[in-house]
């Protein structure tokens, strides 16, 4: 595991800085630790594979339990994919 610390200066928009500070306070973290945690979460989220829709014996779509909300936009995407 990489444990060295690199110091750097970054410029954040006010809104991003406020969010990071709020997140840090809410989690009891330093600003650096909060930003590190948020980046790690974003990295993991982007690595999540897309799930496939399986069909039940009667043809109904079976969606895996992912903990994510299925929005109307996702439903539209699924139905467009179905008819392509």
Instruction: List, for residues 32-65, the tens digit of each pLDDT value.
Output: 999 999 999 888 876 656 667 778 888 887 877 7
Asked whether the whole model's pTM tops 0.75, one would answer no
Residue-wise over 4-36: b if at least 16 C-beta within 10 A, else e?
Answer: eeeeeeeeeeeeeeeebeeebeeeebeeeebbe
């Amino acid at each position: 595991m990489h444990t060295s610390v690199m110091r750097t200066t970054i410029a954040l928009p006010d809104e991003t800085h406020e969010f990071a500070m709020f997140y840090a306070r809410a989690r009891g973290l330093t600003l650096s630790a909060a930003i590190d945690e948020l980046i790690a979460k974003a990295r993991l989220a982007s690595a999540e594979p897309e799930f496939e829709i399986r069909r039940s014996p009667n043809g109904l779509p079976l969606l895996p339990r992912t903990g994510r909300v299925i929005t109307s936009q996702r439903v539209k995407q699924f139905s467009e994919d179905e008819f392509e």
